[in-house]
Amino acid sequence: MVIRNKNAVLVVLGDIGRSPRMCYHAKSLAEKNYRVQIVGYVDTLPFPAISKNPNIRLVGLRHPPDRISSLPSALMLVLKCIWTFGVLLFALLFRVNWPLLILMQNPPGVPCMLACWMVARVKHAQFIIDWHNYTYSILRETYGVEDLRLERYTDRISGRIDDQSGTINSSNISDVRNRRMTKTERAALATVSATCKKKRVVERRKRITLIQRFIEFAYSWEGFFGRRSDLNICVTHSMRRDLSDSWGIKSATLYDRPPASIFHKLSVEETHTVFWELANQSEEFKVFAENDPKVLDAMDGDFTEVTKFSYRDGDGIAFLRDDRPLILMSSTSWTEDEDFGLLLNALQSFDKVAGLSGKSNPQTRLPHLICIITGRGPLKTYYMGRIEHLQMQNVQVITPWVDAEDYPRLLGSADIGVSLHTSTSGLDLPMKVVDMFGSGLPVLAKKFTCIGELVIDGQNGRLFDTSHELCDLIKSLTCGFPLHSSVSLLDAYHSSS
């Protein structure tokens, strides 16, 4: 029985359907008899466990007008913040039921944190921030700004004056005050003072752009409201430590765990159904269809529903083909924190070697490979142009948009998962890898600061740094596929967990 006053509001200033962690929070709260309201942009519907759940309601927000995006960057940011703040504040005050808690996803924190904090105080609700990344780091990456004046909490409380030529800390100064300074100490202090004065003059002379000021403001903003929330949760231990060091924010790490009811390895019957349905219902998946007359003639007439991967026999039983292509899958939001050039270069190298191995022993032959990259984002058009010019013979790359219901099914039918996520802060983990693990896929992941908290090299996946390393990993895993390959990295992981 649902208790009427157990209302929870989850705020996602992004596409709700592409915010799986917040959807999992909503599902967990709904199972605890909360009435959950997810406030955000409803560009795509989330998976049925969310969109069809009677305890979960989606509250859509209006996007800022398109004409704002054509304005100069600084003005655009300010106007978008004003618009978003007004729309979000109105929704939280008048379009949702009185909440016991408001849980917001960060980023974006500007202006979301202010609106959520204000409404939480007015309605006496718990204000919780779920830190996925940092707003300021995304802005810094987007606008290519490196020279920022960001004061860290640990530096501020230490009372130190750090300089390239030397360091004088508070304990040293206290000791000096209790006695007469030596000539050497006076000279050292004078040098440090002069250098610091020179640095301040240089800093004042530097031209600080409005974008730099806005990013520095976003950094301070996140720290200010993070310290005033009732609870902070984050995605990695590395981020938990950084929150403490940067802003003095206490937080708890909450790792992602995909629901087994949604992400799991599919059976042969389920896999064939996915291939057959997609091949016949979607133009983007026409590569799944088997249209080669020679192949169809070579198969017995009793076979039906033939795809490049599977078929159904006269008794209605589904089988996987021994000559099927390998499916390598990745998903992305096509942003700067994922360099898909690495994957494309690796696929080009793989294509050349696969062509040479075509007539070799089946145990050493490389398979035909279909690379599926799902998602939408600002850099998709750029990479689509690159893909069109690759002209590979043994590799096909498709970039479909897959809805929330089909994505787990497709992932559960794939053979290898690849993650190119590196994070603008270096402190968050790729949700796609969690989904891939849930679907039973071996994962090849790009190295970055805290990826080791999720992918253990050689146990539940492999790590790479360059396109050459990625190509070598793909070749070693797929050699002899499907009968003689080593696409079974997760066996060691499951046996040890």
Q: Are residues 353 and 454 in the same domain?
A: yes
Least confident piece of the model among 132-141, 190-199, 486-495: 486-495
Q: Are residues 84 and 169 in the same domain?
A: no
Residue 48 to residue 32: CA distance in whole angstroms: 18
Residue 229 to residue 105: CA distance in whole angstroms: 13
Q: Sorting pLDDT into bands at 50, 70 and 90, what band is 496?
A: very low
Q: How many CB atoms lie within 10 A of CB 138?
A: 21
User: How does pLDDT run across 97-113, given as a tens digit for each residue?
Assistant: 999 999 999 999 999 99
Instruction: Give the pLDDT score at 158.
Output: 65
Least confident piece of the model among 28-32, 42-46, 191-195, 428-432: 191-195
Query: Taking each helix axis from N to C terminus, what angle separates 73-90 and 210-227, rounded to the nearest 10 degrees?
Result: 30
Q: How many CB atoms lie within 10 A of CB 474?
A: 27
Residue 130 to residue 14: CA distance in whole angstroms: 14
Closest CA to 14 of 152, 106, 83, 102: 106
Instruction: Give the pLDDT score at 488.
Output: 52
**Contact (Cβ atoms closer than 8 angstroms) between residue 477 and residue 485:** yes
Residue 59 scores a pLDDT above 90: yes
Phi–psi pair at 130, nearest 5 degrees: -105, 105
Residue 77 scores a pLDDT above 90: no
3-state secondary structure of 32: coil
Residue 124 scores a pLDDT above 90: yes
Q: Are residues 407 and 380 in the same domain?
A: yes
Distance set, CA 397 to CA 285, 327, 340, 375, 470 (Å): 11, 10, 12, 14, 16
Whether residue 190 lies inside any domain: the answer is: yes
Task: Decide: residue 121, CB within 10 A, 0-12 exposed, 13-18 middle, 19+ buried.
Answer: exposed
Average pLDDT for residues 452-473, to the nearest whole number? 93
- Pair of tokens at residue 257: 């765990």
User: How does pLDDT run across 371-397, given as a tens digit for each residue?
Assistant: 999 988 888 888 888 888 888 999 999
Phi–psi pair at 398, nearest 5 degrees: -125, 150
Percent of the chain with pLDDT over 70: 85
Q: Are residues 367 and 337 in the same domain?
A: yes
Q: pTM for the full model?
A: 0.82
Percent of the chain with pLDDT over 90: 56
Q: What angle do CA 99, 100, 101 make, to 5 degrees?
A: 90
Whether residue 270 lies inside any domain: the answer is: no
User: Computed from CA positions of residues 168, 170, 173, 175, in that sequence, does the dihedral angle turn out positive or negative?
Assistant: negative
Distance set, CA 98 to CA 36, 133, 417 (Å): 11, 28, 42
**Contact (Cβ atoms closer than 8 angstroms) between residue 55 and residue 34:** yes
Q: How many CB atoms lie within 10 A of CB 354?
A: 22
Instruction: Give the pLDDT score at 497.
Output: 44
Whether residue 1 lies inside any domain: the answer is: no
Q: Sorting pLDDT into bands at 50, 70 and 90, what band is 491?
A: very low
**Contact (Cβ atoms closer than 8 angstroms) between residue 376 and residue 384:** no
User: How does pLDDT run across 405-415, given as a tens digit for each residue?
Assistant: 889 999 999 99
Q: Sorting pLDDT into bands at 50, 70 and 90, what band is 175?
A: low
Q: Are residues 128 and 184 in the same domain?
A: no
Q: Are residues 482 and 448 in the same domain?
A: yes
Least confident piece of the model among 220-234, 265-279, 427-441, 474-488: 474-488
Instruction: Note down the domain range covering 171.
Output: 159-205
Find where tokens 């060091």 sit. 245
Q: Sorting pLDDT into bands at 50, 70 and 90, what band is 435?
A: very high
How far is CA 257 from its chain centroid?
14
Distance set, CA 178 to CA 173, 174, 175 (Å): 9, 7, 5
Q: Are residues 392 and 377 in the same domain?
A: yes
Whether residue 480 lies inside any domain: the answer is: yes
**Please, which residues bridge with residue 41 across strands?**
15
Average pLDDT for residues 1-7, to the nearest whole number? 62
Give the CATH number for residue 485: 3.40.50.2000
Instruction: Give the pLDDT score at 200.
Output: 59
Average pLDDT for residues 45-71, to the nearest whole number? 92
Whether residue 281 lies inside any domain: the answer is: no
Q: Are residues 80 and 187 in the same domain?
A: no
Q: Are residues 115 and 191 in the same domain?
A: no
Phi–psi pair at 444, nearest 5 degrees: -110, 120
Q: Are residues 373 and 446 in the same domain?
A: yes
Whether residue 238 lies inside any domain: the answer is: yes
Instruction: Give the pLDDT score at 283.
Output: 85
> What is the domain count for the chain?
3
Closest CA to 256 of 34, 411, 494, 430: 430
Q: Specify the amino acid at residue 437.
A: F
Q: Are residues 98 and 220 in the same domain?
A: yes
Whether residue 275 lies inside any domain: the answer is: no
Task: Decide: residue 337, CB within 10 A, 0-12 exposed, 13-18 middle, 19+ buried.
Answer: buried
The continuous run of DSSP H or E covering 356 comes out as helix 340-356
Instruction: Give the pLDDT score at 333.
Output: 81
**Contact (Cβ atoms closer than 8 angstroms) between residue 258 and residue 24:** yes
Whether residue 260 lies inside any domain: the answer is: no
Dihedral angle over CA of 104, 110, 113, 116, nearest 10: -80
Q: Are residues 62 and 174 in the same domain?
A: no
